[in-house]
Every structure is written in structure tokens, then in C-alpha cells.
Structure 1
Amino acid sequence: MIQESIIRIQEYQRVHLNHKKQFEAIEKEDTKRQRLALLDWLASTDPIPDHEFAVFMRADYPSSGNWILQENKIKAWLDPQQLTVPLLWINGIPGAGKTILTSVIIGECMKNSSSSTIFFYCKYDDKQRDTFIAVARAMLSQLLKQNEVLLPYLYSECINSHSVSLASHEMCTKLLEVCFETVSKYERTYLIIDGLDECEPVQRRLLLSTLVSIVQKTLYPGMLRLLIVSQNEPDIKRQLRQCSDVRLSSSCNRSDIEVYSRVWAEKIQQKFFVSDDTKTHIIKAVSEGADGMFLYAKLILTNLYAQTCREKLYEELRPGTFPVGFEQAYSRIVCRVYQNPNESERATAGRLLGWISCAKRPMRWHEMQAAVSINMDDEDVNFEDRQLRAHIQDLCGSLVEVLPGDRVQLVHSTAKSYLVDKSYVRIILEEQKLAVMCLRYLLFQCFDPTTPDDQIHHYVNEGYYAFQEYAIVYWVDHLESLIEKLSPSDLENSELCDLGSAIAEFYEIFGVQSTKRSDVPSFLEDRCTHLVGSDQLDSLLLLLSHTRKVRAAQDELTEPKELKIILEKVRSHLTRLSKSKNLTIVEKQKLNTYYGPKWIKCPRHACFYFHEGFPDESSRDKHLLRHEKPFLCTDLSCLRKHWGYSTEKELKRHILLEHPDPAAFGGKFPKVKKEPVKHQCNICGSSYTRSSGLKIHQRKHDGTRPFKCESPGCSAAFLRRWDRDRHTRSAHSGMGNASGSQSPQSTPVQSLP
């Protein structure tokens, strides 16, 4: 008996443990889905690659920047015991190596396992890195990853927002306030923003006011610490006037620049076999000429190393030639690029720098290779014969950088300023070239919606669609950027005018029918008053007006319809290829060269994932639910918390039916009915709800039958009137017994209750 009880207890424990594991697995999977949904909603730029790139830049100089950690104000800001320095501002001249110093401080913060580190690297002219929304999204994503306790709150805000992505300034501010205050209760948080000056003034003012307010109002002094790194801009200085600051002087990083120069001088010596005296001269000339500007040293040394022979190197080192100051440093590099004796390389470098300077988002290297491979006269894309075999940095020198994710950008915001100021890059002309290339590319035969599938297969395999994500979205942006800068002659419909003829042909093929000239908004008309009378003004205005109107109303690219059709066909084809088991490694590598590693993408043109893409179809489908069914149920036990409704009305109906709130019904419940009164017979005990029922019943006991049949010759009598009437209908209706005798079913006895 005891043994049986023990076995039963053990069995119960086993079942209980099994159920517990099952519930934990379900909860773990549920948490994972919520986190993925949140990260999708935030759609933030990951700052890790930017940080890793900064760390990589000083990999050959491990001690570079460590001096910043010995600064008293930095030590106080990092010290957990110090509560008086929650706000700190590091400022310095352009090119002083502030980003490298920031990476050193971030690395030091990350060593402390008892605290969390939130950081972001702002980038000029990159909408994923230079706005309040972009920075806020990134901070919230990092807070979520490092603090599991925030998941329920953020997920609730996510599904209650009924929006595909976080895009509200007010909501961003609210979420940042709540999240930072929450984590500050139990963990110290270091918040570091690098390159704030690279954001537009309005954006950085909003970001600064929000973050400073959060730090100053926290209920837990010292638990949240903010570090801002930027140039000494007047508007930033005004907002941080009460903060402690560290000003980077020319002497601060002199030793780092010397170390950096020594490493590069040794590389130069090994390449050109120069003497030790020449190496020493290079180190001294660069270190003294830098005047605290790390970027200057980088530009000079990479330019020296890039020379083709020792004679050219010595020419660069001559006293009259060796650059003095930032501008001359750029001058030497630009001179090498734009005076390259190889005409083909010189022209290609000029094209690339123009594209990088005017791109509406950072182009990826495969997109630039696609653009190079386009021939607008032959209307084809020939990767095999036209793609660049030289690296972009071999062509453009140290003016450009290729960042993680294959993003290509200028080495510094000052590089674009120099190129534009010195007219090496003419913004109007480059915008015009990009606009024409986008328009004409989209007129290629491969974008004809009637193209058969086998031909699309051929075009895909040859890389024809490698530039489609950029061209389909941004042709309108390049045209808009040109409006105020165009002259009437730029819109002539002639063979000699690339832009005018491109607009004319594009309008001819994709012209809009639903938008009339009178529908063009007045603000757009006002921007074009100087173009009145131009050949293609009407076509330009109708294209811009209609496209902006449709895109504002439709998340997907519905216009031009022809491009929508072909885009869907191409993406469907790439999706099938991504799942194909017949695709060889060589074929996949070739397609990766054309389209990057992520072929499956979101159909919403304003979505980051329209061009970024997903590693697989499952990730894309989960993401699309946020677009198509954005109204999610807030009940964590409901299946519709992941797969929502198309409209808010549908969601409200679901909640009303499936998750009614008892508090909502207060005062609306009907009055509780009284127990029905029972009328009981004192003879047999039978009970009735109504007194009339009891009276009829009592006739049975006293033999009273008041309802007699009125038909002649019939003596039947009944307790109830309706029994008598039923008897009359069935027995005396003329269809029954002619003698008037009663049917068995109508006997008085059977009519008794």
C-alpha cells in the first residue's frame, strides 16, 4: 500500500515536471515572438557594425585613445561612486578622432557587467542615422535586448500603437522616459551619442532636450549617465551650457597621431624601400602638421602609401607640395583622383563620388556596381563586362569608406563640403545624372510588364534588376531635388537634353490618367514659376504630384502599375530561387554579387526592409503581419496577439466578444429576479407558479367540470376551456364522427392535467 502511494506520488511529480517544462517552452517561444515583433516595430539601425568598424580602425594601434580614460572628468563620469557628473560633453574640431575616442569609452563601459551601455553613432546625410526617430529607435532596441523586464511594457505599447513602425516623436519620448526610469531603479546605464553635430539642427535639438530632461528628472541620481560627443556647435553648446565638458585641444592626441604615423611610415618604407631618415621625416611632418586632427594624418598617410612609385612619393614629400592643413590634405587626395592619368579610372572615380554625394540613402556596393554596369544607349545591364574590377578605394582613395553591410560613404562630412566647394562635384549636375539614369533604366525592356517568365529568369540571372530598389523609389526624389535649380532649357524635349527627353519618354510610358493639371498642389506650382513655358513642365508636375499623392495613400508601390507588376514578378522569382535546391554555390554567389545576400524583401516602399531585405521567407512573412494586420489584441493569452486585424473596428469587436472588461458593465447588469412564488395544492402537494394554474388543478379534486360541450347530443365536460374547444374542433367539425361520438383523444379524462 505504501509502495503504491510512493509510485503515485512519483508519477504525479513526473507529470507535474513535464507540464512545467511544456509551459516554460510555450512561454519562452511566446517571449521570443514578442521580442521579434518589437524589434520589427522598432526597425532600428544596429550601431554594433559602426562600433566594430571604429574598433577595427584602431586595431593596429591598441593603445590609441586610451588617454581619454585618464581625464579626470571622464573618470568621474565612469566612476559608479560619483553621483555629481551625470552629463558630460566631449567636443573638438572636425577630424580630431572623436569617434575613435567614443569607441574607447564605449569599450570601457561595456567591461562593467553590472551596468548596461547604450550607444549610437550619428552619420551626416544618412536618414537611418541622423534623426531623432532613428536614434530613439536604436536606443529602445538596445534597452530591450539588455533588459528583459521592459518586454511586456514595450510590447503593449507596440500593439496599442496600431502602427507598422515607431514613427511618433511623442511616443518615442514617452517610451524613452519610461524605459530609462525603469532600468535606473536597479542598474546603472551609460548612454553615449557620438557625432550629434552630424544631425540637422532641429533633430539634434529635439534629441538633446529629450535626453537631458530624462537624465535631470530621474528619481535615481547617478544611475543614468549621458555622454554627448560632437563638434563645438553654438546650438549644442547652448543646450549643454550647464554640463561638464572635455575640450579636445591639439595636444590631447599628439602621441596617438605619432603612433599612427609611425605604423603607416613603416608600411610606406616597406613598400617603397625608403631610408630610415625618410621614414622619420614622414612621422615628424605628419605629426606636426596634423595639429590635433587625426583625419588629417589619415588623409596624408593613405595618400602617400597610394603613390605608384618612389619618385611620386618624393614629390608628395617636397616642402612646397606637402599639405598644410585640412584643405590641402583633401587637395592632394582629390588631385590624385581627378588628375589620374588613366582617363577611364579618373572618369569612373568622378561618377562614383558624384553618386555617393547625392544618393538619397547610402548605396550598397552591389548597387553601385549595377549602376556602373548600366548602358542607357544599349538599354542593357552587363555585369560581366562593365563591373569594376578595381576596389572603390583604389579609385577614390581615402575619400571613401566601405562600412559593414557594404554601405559606401564619404570618409567624413567635410569631404563632401570640400568636393562641392571646389566644384569637383556639382550637385545640380549629379542630381540630374542620377534622375536621368533612374528614369531611363526603368524604361528598359526588362521592366515591360508583359515580359514572359523565361525572359525574366534570364534578366534576373544577368543582374538586370540589381538597381531596381533604388531607381523605383528615388527617381521622384531626384526630380524634386532639381526643381528650383532647373532652367527652362533643361526641360526641352530634344535629343540634346537628357533630362527633358527622359521625362517625356517616362511620361509617355507611365503617364498618369487620374491626375489633372488642376490637381497639382499650389506649393508645387510655386516652386516651378521660373519654368513656366518649358516643354516638359506639365509632364514633370503631373508625375511628381501623382506619385507623391499615391505614395502617401498607399504603402505599396501601386504606381506606376507597370513597375509594380514587374517588381512583384522579379521578387517572386528571387524568392523561388532562394528556396531552390538546384541552385549551385557558384550560381548563388553570382546572384549575391548582383543583389546582395538578402533577396526576400518587404513590398512597402517606405519600409527599411524594402531595400534591406530578409534572410528567409519566414522572417518576411512575420514582418508583413505588422503591415497587413497591425491591430493586435492586447490580451497576452489570445492567439490574435501575433496575428491581428486589418482595422481598429475589427479589433474592438474581437475584444468586446472575447475579452469583455467587467468594469465596463458596471451599473448595466439587470436586476436579479425574485424567486418565483409557488402555489401549492393542500391536498396532493402539487405546486404551480401561477394561482390560475392551482385553481384549475383544484377542480380535479372537487369534481367540477365547468366547460361543457355545446354540441347537440354531446355530454362531455372539461376542466379547462381550451380542452373543450379542442374537443369541439376535432369531434364536431363535420370531419370527425357523424354521430358526434368522441374520439379517444378527446375524452375528458385524457384532457385532465
Structure 2
Amino acid sequence: MSTNELLKIAREFRKTLRPQDKETFETSSYNDVLQDVNDIQSQRELTKTMINMKRIQPFLIGMVNLEKILVAIKFQQVSDVMACVWGSIRFLLKTTNLTEREIDNLLDAYEKLGDKIPPLYEYAPLFIGFTESELCLVHIYRDVSTFHQNSYKLFSLRSSLCLKLYKPTWKALNDTIKHLEDSLERHGQFIQDHGSPFRNPLASLDIGSELLFEESEPYTTQNWGRLSLELHNYDDSVIKHQDDFGEKENLKKEEMKTKVLEWISASKETNSLHKRFQDTRICPDTGRWLFKKYSEVTDWMNEDLPPESAIWLHGSRGYGKTILASIIIDELHSRKNRKAIDSESKIYYFYCQEADADHRTHLGILKGILYQMVDTNDYLLPYCADKAESGGSTTLAHVDVAQALIEAFFEYNSRQYVVIDGLDECETGEEMRKIANFFMKQVSKCDNDIKQGQLRVLFMSQKTPELEKDHVMPEEDGRIQLKSTDNAEDIRAYVKARIPEFSKTRGTRSGFNLSEADEDQIVSIVCGRSEEMFLYAHLAIEYLLQQPTKGRLLQKAKGEMLPETLRQIYEKLLGAVRDELLQLEDGEEHWKMAKLLLGWLVCAKRPLKWNEMQSILSYEPERQKVDFDNEMLRQEAEKYLGSLVHILDGGHIRIIHSTARRYIVNNAHINAQETQCQLTVLCLRYLCLLTTSDLDPNEEEHLKKVRHGWFAFQDYACSQWHSHVDTVIKACKDLFCSSTYNGQHTESFGSALQNFIDTHREYLTTELHSDLARDLPAELKEYSGLSFYDNLCLLWNHIYTHQKSAYDIRNTVGIARIEAALLRNRSTLETLTPASQAVNNDTIADYYGPNLFKCKRVLCKFFYIGYEKKDDREAHNSRHDRPYQCPAQCNLAPLGFSNKKDWERHMRHYHPHLSEGPSIFEALRHRTGPTEFKCSLCGKQFTRKITLQGHERSHFGERPYKCSHEGCTKAFARLNDCQRHWKIHSRRQGR
């Protein structure tokens, strides 16, 4: 390695500079630095804010030594490479001089590094006589450049962003500074150990002076050879030191990233949804018309200064907008890879999903975008980690925190694209407006304050009144109405691509043996009926594929026979599933099974996994027995659920489209009220099974029941039973009061209710809640004529009382006997592994899923999601011990808050009607000893952090609290000192 490497290092550094800084880094000299230091000192003397600038002196001496030795060895580009050093110092001093803390930390760093740089010029004969030793100079220059590059990257940010990032970023940089200290010390030690025969301690540092040193005994060939070997070993040790540090830093970053991503706790379905939409695009040219017909989209992607930084594509329901969104996302990645757009561009996306609680709220969308930001950008990790650690909650629960972090990424990235699909599928119109308003404000801020096009947002949705009336969406020039004729060729290509499926064996049926004319007819009819609805074309093909014979197929393919509306086609699809299942042996049983599964999927209180649905099927309420081995379905879910669902990774089941949910129930085949009542009965009876099983003292028999899957339904039943009872009361009255059902539901529900109360009566609340004592709910009174009314009132009083209790009580099952059974079952299950044998070849994972270690708090999603490892579950449980809990039935903060400040902020933002008045919460854990906060500058200790902060301000002369009294110019480092001073004015005015 030669000194030419110095020039390479300097040039690589200069590539990262802003245009306005390049001249400083190309022309600066040592004298320029001295002038700047003198100017800063003079300015501070005038303002009486003197600071110890001498701390930079060792570093400056070290760099003068470096420059002098480069001249001595006749390096040709001395001024070029050293200008990068002098320019860095000048830039950093001028930038940090604006704030006391920043320049103080910078001078500390320079002092630490400077103390490790040896007096290089004293060893000039070594570098002149043994040219290989120039390697030491290269390593020293690289370490100095590393510090300057890291510092420049921070302080060259926009001042507002630098202010946000400074504290956590500089704190993280301290490890690098310590590494560079050690590295410089290593270089110095080698030079001092092997250069002592050449050293001239009287060598002058005056640039341009003659090189003088005492004569030393000449090195023999043997000595030079040994020195060359030592130099080689030194070089290896330097490289290893750098590699070890790099590996350690990478590991630390990965650990930090993992913690931050866990804190964000965004939905894990975003990637699998995108993969699903990619797989749906079976035609390679699907959606390409979008980039040809609408210049607004291509300009939004390509132009350095796009006419509109935010655009809104809207079309009718079923148009295929989500597929178009996935095409845009992939096109952005493609253009980035081939450098058609800025290769540093960041691309973020989110698919709103009406049926998924994590994909339909303002916070859920922000978390999804933030997750991708953190996952693809390491520089802001310390800032995010700092927010996570100081937020008071183990999961991101505040919209304002999420927004603040996202804003920082928007400000940091040079260009970013955000694609949000399905905005109209948000939970409420208010949620739609909030998310649109936030991103539009960010676009405006970036366009006006930073650079037009730095942030580009694309919304995809239906055109809804909620989005239009408040003028939160892009203006007319940024709105694109997708026309009915735009996707006609895509629909035709898609239908043609599906035609070969009619010749393949499908399920229990062989191919249809169609002629070319038959195929053309199907294409023509389906495309004609579809109009602009891609969804209709897909469902129509699925419907036709389910026909039993060629004759039926051709008959249904006629224009007048093919369903016209989505409602009709969903009905027909259900009918087709029914017809196919009825052809099987015991077909009626198969169809009954399919109706159960589809009904449960839609009516469940949270998304069910396939193994959970299997657990319901394996439970026999009348016999109070679970038989996974004999009753679980051994076929894939698609056999029973047909084309109406998608099966995602991990057994997650999703309805094919948001429109399907409302049509699956309340049709000729499935009744929503009956399904809700059935699930309620199942929960009540199953909970009786849990408590009676817990009475068995035989541990061996209990373990056998665990292995046989008896308790696979307990997570759902224990956490949702009261919600199902509530639904029966509010939405299922017709089942019991209408003559249509002949009392069958009255009997089944009444019997289950009686059994539940008989089993748990001693654990139910008998004292009537004060709210119910005044007046029972109108919905409940409507059941007064039914035989189970008294039991229903008793149970409802217990549920109501439980739900009105403190948060920690609401976070339990609600019945102590059931909870005890749950904990015992889980304890036994945790002695097994997912791979453990259940019955024969079935494993525990087949019955219970892969995560056996679960949270005991029913309002936490990890109550049913769980963890693979016990340590992870225990770490999670410890986070629940938070002194301040949300008093509302709120899922945004299931873990509570560790300090009152964060709790109050949550209450102000989400429950303002509850935020007034004194706190009704007490800390769960009290301080057991004095907490000490130590000043990093003088070592003085304080018992309160706020006192420490005020004390530290006094070190730097910071006085942020100014007296508000007219004519008074005094300012203070501490708020209480300012308030005490203000009282003087008040007393004077009162005289």
C-alpha cells in the first residue's frame, strides 16, 4: 500500500460532500484553521461564553506533523489530501459553534484523538529511509478521515434534522471514537517501538524548515527484513482490529434494529400480501397501460421535479386497483435497479385491509410504513432506539411518536416513494382523513422547505365522500380517474390466460374438453359482463370452473345465465362449492363442514388460523370430548373454502376480497345470526370442559389430554366468550323470538347457558352493578319472555361488572376457575415442544401451532400469538408491569406506561374526556432505594433527572427559561428558578 492511497481516501470523502462545501474541503490550510479558531475565541470573549478551545491543540499538532512528514517524503499531493483534513475541522468548528453542547463534545473528541497521534515528524528518517513504513501514515489518515466523515454526515444535515438526531447519533458515534482512539494508539505504538533509532526530538514543526536529525547507526539488511516482517504483522493486526470492530458494530446494529422493529410491532402480513398480489398477475403486461396512458404517473416516478408530488388514483370497487398498486411498487423497484430513477431512492408501501385490524387504522398504517423505513435505513436507528427506550411503552402506541419518526426519515432520505393502497378500507372515515392529511402535509413540507419531489406519495382507493369533502387529497391535477376502458385488454388477457385451466383435472373432475369456439365464447361472455371489474372476471372464471359437466359449463357461460352482480356471483360460488362437495361420499357432511368453516371465518371476533378452526371441528360439545386424531380435517382448507379464501403463510386465512365478507353470511346458505349463536354455545360449553378437566388430579391423564389436543381452543374461548355473549344479546334476538326457528336455538343456547352457570356459579358476581340496578339495557329486556332470561341477566351482570373494572381485572379471563385451568394447561403444554408427538404421526404443532409460550393477559395479542421461546415470553411479561394503565377499553396501549407523562399524553390524544382530574392509578412497583443521576462533566449526583438536566445546562451557560415579565431580560437554566424569580415581579405588582 502506498501513499497514493491517501488521495483515494480524500477523493472518496469528497464524493459525499454537499456542493456548497466542496471548495472548503479542497482549498483549506492550517492557517485557515488557526484563523477560524481565533475568530471563535474572539467572538466568545465578546459574548462572555468562553470555552476551552485548547482541547483541539493536540489534534492540530498531530495533523501538522502528518502534513510535514508528507512533504518530507516528497508526496506530490500534500495540499490536496490535507485540505480535506483542514476543511473538515473548519466545517465542524463553525457548525457546532452554534450550540454549546455540540462544540464541547467535538472538542472532547478532538482531544482524545489528538492525544493518541505520535509526533510523526520526529520519526521522519524512518519514513524516508524505509518507504514501506508509509503504511502507518495511510492508516492514521484513514482513521482521521473516518472520524471526519462520520461527523460531517451528522452536521451536514439540515439544522432541524440535526437537532433531532444529534444526541442519540453522537452517543452511538462514541463507540467509533473509542475504536479510533485505540487504532491511533496502535499506530503510534508501532512507530515509537520501531522508529526509536531514527527519532529526532528536536525536529522543527515549522512547515518548510529543513529536515534535521541526528545520525544513527545504519540498519543492516537483516534489520530491514525484520522491520518489514513486523510491519506486515502490524498491518494484519490493524485490519483485524478494523474487521472485529466492524463485525461488532454490525451485530450491535442488528440487535438494535431487532429491538426497534419489535417495539414498532407492525403487521407481519405486508410482504406476504404483496407476494400474493404479484402471483395474481399471471399476464406479464398487466397494468402496463397505466404508464402509457397517464403521464401523471410516469412523471411522478421519473421527473427530478415532478409536476405533482402526490397523486390519487381512484376507480370503482373490484376494478383491480390493488393489483395496479403492486405493479407500481414493482415498477419503482425495477427503475431503481436499472438507475432510471435515483438509485438511493427508498420505496415504501402499505395495503389497507378492511378485515385486518392491523391494516385499517391510522396507527397501523404508520407502523407499517415505519417498519419498512427502519428495516432499510440504519442511520436513524439510534434515534428510533432512543424514542423506543424513552417512550414509556414496550410497543409503539402513540400516533405522534410514529409521525415524528416518519418525518425524520422523510427529511433524511434524498428521495422516497410511498404507495398506500385501499385507503377507503380504513376502519372509519376519520381514519382515512387522518392518514391522508398527514402524508399530504409531509409532501407539502418537503416540497416547500426542502426540495420538490423529495417525498412522493401515491394513494389508490375508491372515490369516497369522506376523502373529497375535506379537501385533504391531492388537487385536480394530481387526481386520476381510472376509466372503464383502461383495463379492458388486461381483463381479456387474464381470462384468456385462465382458459387452459378448463382442460386440466380439477378436484374430483376431469377437463371439460372444450373446442376453440367454446373457449372463445367463454372469453367473450366473461369479458362482456366484467365491464371494468377485474374481480368479477376472476370470480366468474372460478364459478365456471366449478361446474360439474361440460353441458352445465356451456349453459352457464351464456350471457343470460352468468350472474350479473357480485352478490349473485358470490351466491353462485357458494352454491358451486356446495354442489361439488355434495358429489362426494357423505357430501352433506362435507357441505355442512364448509358452511361452518366459512361462517366461523367471518363471524369470529379475531382472525382464526387453520389449526384453530380444526380445534373447533374436533370438539364434541354433547360428549364434552376433543378428538383431534379422528375429527380434524386431513385435506387442505381450499377443499372446503373453495375460491373464497386465500391461505397465507403460517396458516393465516384471508377472505378473497373485502366485498366477499358481507355476502358470505346472510345468504341462502349461511346465516350470520345462527353462526354467532353457534360460536357462543361452543365457547360456553368448551369452558365447562376446561374447568371439569382441571379437576382431574392425575397428571399423567392430564398430559395425555394435552397431547390429544383437548386445549387447542382455549386461547380463543377464554378471551372471546364474553364478546360472543354480548353479540347474541345485541344482534341475535330473531333466533329466539321468531317462529321461523321453532325454538331450536332457544334450546341449544339455553342449555349451554344453564350448564355454564351451574359449573361456575360460585365464581359469578351476584351483586348487581349500579348501572344495571338503575336500568337494564333495552336489548337485554327483549329476552324477558324466554326461559333462560334469568340466567342471561346473571351472566350479563358478571360480564358487565368485569368489563367496567380496572384494567388489570379486565385483562383476565373473568372467572377464576377458568383462568386456573388455562394456566395449568399451558404449564403442561410448555413441557413439550412443537415437534413433540401428539398422536401417532401428528405433532403438537399440528394441534396447537408453533408458539407454545403465551402471555397470560387476555387483552394482549400475544395471549394467542405467543412466542417460540420461554425467555422471549418472560421478557414480554416483564413489560406488562407498568404502573400507569389506560382506564378505557383501549387496545392501543395494552402494556400500559412506565411514567405518568406518557400516560397523560395518551389520555390527551385518545381519551380527552377522561384526561381531567387526579390520577386514580398507583404505581405497581415502588422505588426501593435512592436513584442517582450522575453529571458526566463533574461527577455530582442528583436524585431527580430533571435536577441533573438543569445542573448540566449551567455547565454550558444554557438559559432556556426566560422571564416573561415585560422589560425583564433575565433567563435561567432551571424552570423552577425562573418561576421563583417571576414571583418577585408578582409581589411588586401587588404592593
TM range (shorter): 0.7 to 0.9
1:323 and 1:532, CA in 2 relative to 1: closer, same or farther beyond 3 A?
Answer: closer
Change (3 A) 1:15 1:67: same
Q: Does 1:516 align with 2:744?
A: no
Question: Which residue is 2:288 aligned to?
Answer: 66
Q: Does 2:619 correspond to 1:383?
A: no
TM-superposed CA distance for 1:586, in Å, is: 9.2
Are 2:363 and 1:121 aligned? no
- Of 650, 653, 656, 1:411 maps to 656
- 2:834 aligned with 1:611, yes or no? no
Q: 1:189 aligns with which of 416, 429, 445?
A: 416
Q: Bigger shift: 103-112 or 8-17? A: 8-17
CA-CA distance at 1:291 after TM superposition = 0.4
Indicate the residue corresponding to 2:753 in structure 1: 503
Q: 1:495 to 1:287 in 2, by over 3 A?
A: closer
> Is 1:231 matched with 2:486?
no
Instruction: Find the residue that maps to 2:688 and give its secondary structure.
Output: coil
Structure 1 residues 588 and 265: alpha-carbon distance in aligned structure 2, compared to 1, 3 A threshold: same
Aligned CA distance change for structure 1 residues 212 and 516 (closer, same or farther; 3 Å): farther
2:517 is matched with which residue? 277
Q: Is the 8 A contact 2:707 2:839 kept in 1?
A: no
Q: Which amino acid aligns with 1:497?
A: E
Q: Confirm whether residue 50 of structure 1 aligns to residue 50 of structure 2.
A: no
Question: 1:105/1:314 Cα in 2 relative to 1: closer, same or farther (>3 Å)?
Answer: same
Residues of 1 paired with 2:501 and 2:373: CA distance? 42
Give the whole-Å Cα distance in 2 for the aligned partners of 1:653 and 1:49: 50
- Going from structure 1 to structure 2, the CA distance change for 1:651 and 1:248 (only over 3 Å counts) comes to farther
1:557 alignment counterpart: 812
Task: Give the residue type in structure 1 aligned to 2:384.
Answer: L
Structure 1 residues 667 and 147: alpha-carbon distance in aligned structure 2, compared to 1, 3 A threshold: closer
Most deviating of 247-256 and 293-302: 247-256
Aligned to 1:674: none
Task: For residue 35 of structure 1, report the CA deviation from its aligned partner.
Answer: 2.1
Structure number with the higher helix fraction is 2
8 A contact 2:418–2:456 mirrored in 1: yes
Verify the 8 A CA contact 2:707 2:837 in the aligned structure 1. Answer: no
Q: Which amino acid is 2:724 matched to?
A: H
- Is the alpha carbon distance of 1:66 and 1:489 closer, same or farther for their aligned partners in structure 2, counting shifts above 3 Å? closer
Distance in 2 between the 1:667 and 1:421 partners? 67
2:610 corresponds to which of 343, 346, 365: 365
Matched, 1:99 2:326: no
C-alpha separation between the residues in 2 aligned to 1:155 and 1:434? 43
Output the CA distance in 2 between the equivalents of 1:495 and 1:284.
48
Number of the residue aligned with 2:403: 173
Alignment of 1:455-604 (within 5 A): 455-487=701-733, 490=736, 496-511=746-761, 512=763, 516-520=767-771, 525=777, 528-531=780-783, 534-549=789-804, 552-554=807-809, 557=812, 559-578=814-833, 583=836, 590-604=843-857
2:580 is the alignment partner of 1:349: no
In the aligned structure 1, how far is the partner of 2:734 from the partner of 2:641?
Answer: 34
Aligned to 1:736: none
Q: 1:619 to 1:544 in 2, by over 3 A?
A: same
Q: Using the TM superposition, give the Cα deviation of residue 498 of structure 1 relative to its aligned residue in structure 2, in angstroms.
A: 2.4
Mapping of residues 329-344 of structure 1, within 5 Å:
329-338=569-578, 341=582, 342-344=587-589
- Aligned counterpart, 2:252: 30
Report the CA distance shift for 1:612/1:216 in structure 2 as closer, same or farther (over 3 A): same
The letter for the 2-side match of 1:504 is Q
SS in structure 2 of the partner of residue 63 of structure 1: coil
Q: For residues 16-62 of structure 1, what are the alpha-carbon distances to aligned partners after superposition, in whole Å with 9 as ceiling and x for unaligned?
A: 7666666555544433333222222221102101101111112x322
Deviates more, 1:442-451 or 1:488-497: 488-497
Superposed displacement of residue 584, structure 1? 6.3
* Bigger Rg over Cα: 1
C-alpha distance after superposition, 1:563-589 (max 9, x if no partner): 333333333333332288xx4699785
How many pairs are equivalent?
A: 651
> What's the counterpart of residue 308 of structure 2?
85
Letter in 2 for 1:398: S
User: Match of 2:488?
Assistant: 254
Pick aligned residue for 1:440 from 685, 688, 698: 685
How far does residue 301 in structure 1 lie from its aligned partner after superposition? 0.7
Q: Does 1:430 align with 2:670?
A: no
Q: 1:415 deviation in Å?
A: 1.6
Aligned pair partner of 1:162 in 384, 392, 401: 392
Which residue is 2:502 aligned to? 268
> Is 1:397 the equivalent of 2:649?
no
Structure with bigger RCO (C-alpha 8 Å, 6+ apart): 1
The amino acid across from 1:72 in the alignment is: S
TM-fit CA distance, 1:277: 0.9
Bigger drift between 173-182 and 215-224 goes to 173-182
1:462 Cα deviation (Å)? 1.4
**CA-to-partner distance for each residue in 1:77-101, whole Å, 9 max, x for gaps?**
1114133321111111111111111
Counterpart AA for 1:466: A
CA distance in 2, matches of 1:665, 1:10: 51
Instruction: Give, in angstroms, the shift of residue 286 of structure 1.
Output: 1.0
One-letter amino acid of the counterpart of residue 232, structure 1: K
Partners of 1:667 and 1:255 in 2: how far apart? 68
Instruction: Give distance in 2, aligned partners of 1:442 and 1:574.
Output: 18
Gaps of 5+ in 2: 1-192, 198-226, 337-342, 505-510, 883-894, 900-922, 956-991
3-state SS of 1:578 partner: coil
Overall identity of the aligned pairs, in %: 26
| Alignment-mate amino acid for residue 645 of structure 2 | V
2:475 to 242, 263, 271: 242
Task: Report the AA paired with residue 853 of structure 2.
Answer: I
Q: Using the TM superposition, give the Cα deviation of residue 433 of structure 1 relative to its aligned residue in structure 2, in angstroms.
A: 1.2
Kindly indicate whether the alpha-carbon contact (under 8 Å) linking 1:303 and 1:397 is maintained by their aligned counterparts in 2: no
Q: Give the gaps of 5 or more residues in structure 1.
A: 634-645, 670-753
Alignment counterpart, residue 206 of structure 1, candidates 430, 434, 443: 434
Greater Cα offset, 94-103 or 404-413: 404-413
Indicate conservation of the 8 Å contact 2:525/2:558, yes or no: no
Tell me the TM-score normalised to structure 2 length.
Answer: 0.60
For 1:235 and 1:501, the matched residues in 2 are separated by 46
Letter aligned with residue 610 of structure 1: F
- Given that 1:488 and 1:531 are in contact with CA atoms closer than 8 Å, whether structure 2 keeps it comes out as no
1:62-81 Cα shifts (integer Å, max 9, x gaps): 22223223331110111141
Contact 1:483 1:528 (8 Å CA) reproduced: yes
- Secondary structure, aligned partner of 2:831: helix
Give the partner amino acid of 1:528: L
Q: What secondary structure does 2:769 align onto? A: helix
Q: Residue type of the partner of 2:424?
A: D
Bigger CA drift: 368-377 or 315-324? 315-324
What SS does the aligned partner of 1:612 have?
Answer: coil
